[in-house]
Amino acid sequence: MPPPGGAGIASSVKPGLPRARPYKDFLTPALHRCFTNAAIIGLLVCWIEAILMSKPHLFWSWFPFSMTGLRLGLLFVSCLTIFVLRVAFMHIGSATDRSTFDSFWRLFVSKRAIWTAVWYCTSGFLFSEVYIFSTAQSANLAWIDPGRSYERMRLNERAVMLRTMFVLLSLGQAMLHLAGDYDALEIPYGPAARRGAQQPTSSQALALAQMKRAALPTLLRAVILTFVTAIWGTILYFLALRRSAWSVAYSIGKLFYTLQKSNTPSGLSDVFPLFFRFMFSGTLLVIMWQLTNLAFSIYASQEPLKKGTPLTNDSKDPNASLVNGIKSKRELPHSIALWELLLIAERFAERRRTIYSDFEKPGSTTWAEISGACLAKVERVSQSIRDAQTTSTPKPAPVEAAPPPKARISQPLRDDPAIFNAAPKPSSAFESVAVGVGAAAKSLGQSPAASPLAIKARAIMGPDGGKSTVSDLSQKTRSYALDFLRTPFGAPFRVPFDRRINAIVLGHPHSRAANIHNAVQAVCHLSVCSLKEDNFGQVQKDIGRIMRVLMAAIRDMQGLVQSYPPHWTDVDFDGKRRVRDVEELVGTMKQGLEMVVNTFGEYAEALGISRAELRSARDLVGRGEEMVAVR
């Protein structure tokens, strides 16, 4: 039997809050929608190219349920390989390598480079087989050349060369993909006034408009890449790849045909028609690659909204799901959640008010978690700057302690002034001979210059024992290195000043600029709007901390740019300490600080902000240029 009052206690306990769904539950469907939209664009491109490959016919050349439809399906498989590549290596932010050589080593000597080449070669191989399958017999692109009636079958070098050219084109596109960092997902950032409070058109119309603007540049790039591959690929084929390609093709062909044994290629005929065929088919392939990549980038970088509202609005606990994404250790959910937070702070007033009023959760409030995560992004910038400055400052040489006195192992000198007197002159001839022999014996081995080997060594090393030779050699080596760095061949090994600063402030190997910008803008907008919307006064106690963190970060970035030494390989450094990406970040922080100061300046004393801090903040915001160039 339960104790008295047990029922009342049980009824007074509030039911548990619904567990917040992970942020990925909302992000994954959004990415699926982006993938579907991009795949539709790719399917449309493949359909157009399948029509161009088919024989001219008023109906069957475009009807999907025909050979055109079969070609469409096979071409779309070639297109899907690029989507697989993009999803596998998608990351946030551009690269922040310190030098071109670092970029080369990271991009082209890595697992990512290998898989990029593999997927592009797979796509190019599928496309080439579809194109060769679609050509007429008169094109003479079959795998086997039957020859005359009395000759044995042999490989067709025209088909071998065309497939080799497609492989080279695939490798060229893979290099462009890596060098252009196609896998980077660029999240738009910057002041809200510059970006606009709302999009003038729907996201679908905006994406199609971007695709339309990129159509002509894409066609031009495709023609240029195909033409360059056709010229240099032909030269490379005849100089280095011809026998290897022939051997590989022969090894494959003999599995299916009885071929004539021949270690030498059979020769080419009608080279110019083959060149123009490659120009046509290669241009179609590059257009498909470029538009596929462009469509994926456009749709994947759309705002995290669903039907015009934030993604997490469908959650039973929207703010908890959003905080879950902001705290995620994975790059993609974390960045998208910060972007969604900024959109909420700028555009969605009703959702923004729930952040101020959501404080009934155990442990912490929504505002405390959001503001803490945003300010942690700014504090991380300051910490990175301090670590870099500490590393660049030379450590003082350690002071060696005086050695302890050694124990005496002999008797002390005799206190007899007579020992400093000159030796008495010999009094006899025998003593004179003895003194001379003793002096000669003592002199042996005591004069380094007396040895012939020592004389030669001193002539070679110099009077200072070779110290100047080592110093001269070091200076000459450094001079030769600087001369090499000034040449075009030394450009990849230079470490420019702006790249070093970007790597320190924005992160390495990929930039965190979008996350920092969005975090600063979000916390500042939420702070300013809290003056009218925060009915419980949660935000006011953190205004002072927000101001101090922003002020410290601005000073740290300005001090870093003004005082950080350039790398010795930066031979083009002209003393102008201007770093555009850091200037933009300082401008965003100053704009946010100005908003907070203008809104809460009259309440400074009540918020625990001293007059000196307020004056310092106003001076920091009111400074002329965002970054002062030190010459």
What distance in Å separates the CA atoms of residue 485 and residue 50, rounded to the nearest whole number?
50
Q: Does residue 211 contact residue 41 with C-beta atoms inside 8 Å?
A: yes
Q: Does residue 131 contact residue 78 with C-beta atoms inside 8 Å?
A: no
β-partners of residue 144 are 155
Considering the entire predicted model, what is its pTM? 0.80
Q: Does residue 95 contact residue 508 with C-beta atoms inside 8 Å?
A: no
Q: Does residue 323 contact residue 206 with C-beta atoms inside 8 Å?
A: no
Question: What confidence score (pLDDT) does residue 476 get?
Answer: 77
HSE-CB for 347 with a 13 A CA cutoff: 19
Question: What confidence score (pLDDT) does residue 8 get?
Answer: 35
What distance in Å separates the CA atoms of residue 349 and residue 338, rounded to the nearest whole number?
17
What distance in Å separates the CA atoms of residue 365 and residue 378, rounded to the nearest whole number?
20
Question: What confidence score (pLDDT) does residue 478 get?
Answer: 73
C-alpha distances (whole Å) from 32 to each of 38, 83, 293, 302 are 10, 12, 16, 13
pLDDT in tens, 573-622: 777 888 899 999 999 999 999 999 999 988 888 888 899 999 999 998 87
Tokens matching residue 216: 């002509």
pLDDT in tens, 41-66: 999 999 999 999 887 777 777 788 88
Question: What confidence score (pLDDT) does residue 522 get?
Answer: 96
Tokens matching residue 28: 């994954």
3-class SS of residue 532: helix
Q: Does residue 283 contact residue 52 with C-beta atoms inside 8 Å?
A: no
Q: Does residue 174 contact residue 117 with C-beta atoms inside 8 Å?
A: yes
Long-range contacts of 107-110 (CB under 8 A, 24+ apart): 107/178, 107/179, 108/175, 108/178
HSE-CB for 599 with a 13 A CA cutoff: 20
Question: What confidence score (pLDDT) does residue 530 get?
Answer: 93
Tokens matching residue 23: 């942020």
Closest of 590, 629, 597 to residue 613, by C-alpha: 597
- The number of residues making up the chain comes to 631
The dihedral formed by the CA atoms of 474, 479, 484 and 487, expressed in degrees to the nearest 10: 170
What distance in Å separates the CA atoms of residue 264 and residue 247, rounded to the nearest whole number?
9
According to the 3-state scheme, what is the secondary structure of 58-71?
A: CCCCCCCCCHHHHH
**In 3-state terms, the chain is what percent helix, strand and coil (to 5)?**
65, 0, 30
Residues of the chain with pLDDT under 50: 1-15, 192-200, 449-450, 624-631
DSSP string, 217-250: HHHHHHHHHHHHHHHHHHHHIIIIIHHHHHHHHH
